[in-house]
């Protein structure tokens, strides 16, 4: 006697059926998906999942990738600094920041002499 066959969407599976799929595919079912072309020309992914009573063709909805917003660098206005204190002028802020920058270009002194006298 052959098993009954059914086509079902993953969204319409019961919680118990979803738990059984997770049990049958503990490492995930992504590598077990089959791409099917419908009569309307639509491509969909499906999982062939076999139980004791039924062989299911489970339609899996594709998750649309998240689209990152396009940032146009030319439109950036760096003139406005919203984190500045309005009481400070640009000249006041630059005085403090230049003091520490001079030491970065100097080589570090490790305490050893570079002259080796043997």
Domain coordinates in residue numbering, the chain:
4-60, 81-105
Q: Give residue 30's pLDDT.
A: 86
Beta strands at 33-37 and 4-9: parallel, antiparallel or unpaired: unpaired
pTM beyond 0.75: no
d(CA 26, CA 80): 53
E-strand stretches of the chain: 4-9, 33-37, 43-50, 54-60
3-state secondary structure of 55: strand
pLDDT tens track for 75-89: 555 555 556 566 666
pLDDT tens track for 6-58: 999 999 999 999 999 999 999 888 889 999 888 998 889 999 999 999 999 99
């Amino acid at each position: 006697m052959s098993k009954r066959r059914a086509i079902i969407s993953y969204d319409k599976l019961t919680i118990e059926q979803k738990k059984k799929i997770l049990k049958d595919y503990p490492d995930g079912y992504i590598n077990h998906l089959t791409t099917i072309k419908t009569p309307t020309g639509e491509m969909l992914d499906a999982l062939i999942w076999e139980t004791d009573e039924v062989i299911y063709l489970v339609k899996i909805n594709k998750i649309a990738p998240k689209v990152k917003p396009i940032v146009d660098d030319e439109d950036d206005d760096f003139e406005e600094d919203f984190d500045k204190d309005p009481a400070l002028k640009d000249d006041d802020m630059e005085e403090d920041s230049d003091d520490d920058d001079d030491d970065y270009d100097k080589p570090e002194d490790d305490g050893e002499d570079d002259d080796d006298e043997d």
